[in-house]
Amino acid sequence: MKRRNFLRNLGFTGGIFALPSVISETNAAAFEKENDLVVKGKVMSEGKGIANVAVTDGTQVFKTNNKGEYQFTVKENADFVYISSPAGYAFDHENYIARFFVPVKGKRGTLNHDFVLTKLNTNDLQHNFVVWADTQMISASDCEQLKATTVPDFKKLMQQYPINTLFHGIGCGDLVWDKFEFFKDYKEAIAMTGVTFYNVIGNHDMDLNSRTDDYSAETFKEQFGPTYYSFNRGAIHYVVLDDVFFIGTAKKYIGYLTENQLAWLEKDLQMVSPGTTVVVSLHIPTFTGAPKRNKKEEDFGGTVSNRKKLYSLLAPYKVHILSGHTHFNESWEDGNMMEHNHGTVCGAWWTGPICGDGTPRGYGVYEVNGSDIKWYYKSTEKETNHQLRIYPKGYAKAYPEEVAVNIWNWDVKWTIEWFEDGVSKGTPEQRVAKDPWAIELYEGPSLPQKHKYIEPTLTEHLFFIKPSANAKSIKVKATDRFGKIFEEAIMIS
């Protein structure tokens, strides 16, 4: 049937069909203005505007003018307008949860908002930060453990630095374990530290009843603000991303960065000079060695599928990627980029003192000097020099004649040497294996009692020594990439 006859048979006339287009043409501009939100204001300190501060709605990125002013029309689906906090200023916070945004969801007309910052009284080119990965509380008991162990451990650590040392924190996702009522306890723990934390959304921080990924972060946003953003301290540009993509079925997700985020990041980085050190925090690691160790294909929920697109954007910079999620400690380095996948604050989900790879429960500590960063792993309730563990001969049941050594923060630039009765014997043998203590604590269907599905995991940071028949003592000397030496010894007989 021809189109004209079809319309006539339906009883419509050409004039009526033309009417909506006339309305659209005459009233479109007015309609759009009525439904727009224009946001304007200043980024300022002590009454003076701060120029060249990035202001964004999560899609567009603008700079404040030389008076610190900004003004733009917010994109329709924006939840927040926020700044990339500039270097040289204290981080604004609400009970030490970073507050760098104003909610705009559903607002129309004109919104006036000034971001008022406090200038630091110390140079921030030198500063430190910690990475708390997977605090992951599912019970009140878990929350109490966080407050009773990790918080005082961190406070004690800070006391070992000069009194004016700047610290901030990064909560690297899985702040809770699907129990959103414990966000309150997480926030209380952060407030107890007295350190401002920026937070990353994890797969256990998502709304599992949401229809699509677009709505999976509603509760997180109410608690912590945007899921992707940036900030600056000293010479470092920090970026936080949301790489947990919910696929609409409870507890199903993939590691994936949306186009919205990548497009925003591209604009954000246009304001960062090439060669700058950029620290990117996300929950799911972009890459790990786990598939190779386990001789399995890559798990879509275990790494970021489109990571190469991220790497391309980061190519002009010196990059450190910070991640969690796996409950093991590992790093890799390639060219301008290094990823630090952290052991967890909760260990094996608050069931024991170590993660499945034998890494003690704890957190990463990073010391920044200009554009350079040094780091170490801080085991909860242990001294900072606790960086390796030697097991007695035969404790690793699969290797009854050998001594096993776990050096959890090892990377390819460490050097390891072992001594028998004071005599150097060279480098111990590195081997992919399971930590023997983790086997004892977690292996099998009945262990651990609290969460029986936890199992030990293969790791590459295990080393093995075969002492001679008459050996009396074994010492291991581990030197990290910064030249710091750690030693542990054990008596054989």
State the CATH number of the domain containing residue 432: 2.60.40
What pLDDT sits at residue 10?
A: 33
CA distance 193 to 493: 45
From 84, 116, 148, give the residue that closes a domain: 116
What pLDDT sits at residue 493?
A: 72
> What is the CB neighbour count within 10 angstroms for residue 259?
9
In a domain, 348, yes or no: yes
SS3 for 280?
A: strand
Do 141 and 256 fall into the same domain?
A: yes
Residue-wise DSSP of 131-171: EE----B-SHHHHHHIIIIIHHHHHHHHTTS-TT--EEEEE
Do 353 and 413 fall into the same domain?
A: no
In a domain, 399, yes or no: yes
Do 181 and 307 fall into the same domain?
A: yes
Do 135 and 261 fall into the same domain?
A: yes
Write out residues in the chain with pLDDT < 50, as ranges.
1-31
Do 103 and 64 fall into the same domain?
A: yes
Do 367 and 398 fall into the same domain?
A: no
In a domain, 337, yes or no: yes
Query: At 219, which CATH number?
Result: 3.60.21.10
Structure-token pair, residue 455 = 């199992």
Structure-token pair, residue 420 = 């028998």
From 86, 116, 146, give the residue that closes a domain: 116
Q: Are 51 and 258 in contact (CB under 8 A)?
A: no
Q: Are 130 and 363 in contact (CB under 8 A)?
A: yes
In a domain, 76, yes or no: yes
Do 348 and 266 fall into the same domain?
A: yes
CA distance 431 to 419: 19
Q: Are 366 and 127 in contact (CB under 8 A)?
A: no
Question: 15 is in which domain, residue-wise?
Answer: 3-33
Do 167 and 300 fall into the same domain?
A: yes
Phi first, then psi, for residue 423 (nearest 5°) are -105, 130
Nearest to 37 by CA among 68, 78, 65, 91: 78
Query: At 48, which CATH number?
Result: 2.60.40.1120
What pLDDT sits at residue 33?
A: 67
Do 287 and 408 fall into the same domain?
A: no
Q: Are 384 and 375 in contact (CB under 8 A)?
A: no
Structure-token pair, residue 52 = 């060249």
In a domain, 121, yes or no: no
In a domain, 268, yes or no: yes
Structure-token pair, residue 329 = 């400690």
Residue found under tokens 């980029």: 337
What pLDDT sits at residue 227?
A: 98
Q: Which of 371-374's residues contact partners 24+ apart within 8 Å by CB, and which partners? A: 371/235, 371/236, 371/276, 371/277, 371/318, 372/277, 373/236, 373/277, 373/279, 373/320, 374/482
In a domain, 8, yes or no: yes
Do 139 and 272 fall into the same domain?
A: yes
What pLDDT sits at residue 282?
A: 99
From 325, 344, 379, give the residue that closes a domain: 379
SS3 for 221?
A: helix
Structure-token pair, residue 217 = 């972060």
Do 362 and 393 fall into the same domain?
A: no
Q: Determine how β-strand 197-199 pairs with β-strand 167-171.
A: parallel
In a domain, 443, yes or no: yes
- Tell me how many domains the chain contains: 4
CA distance 216 to 247: 9
Do 155 and 219 fall into the same domain?
A: yes
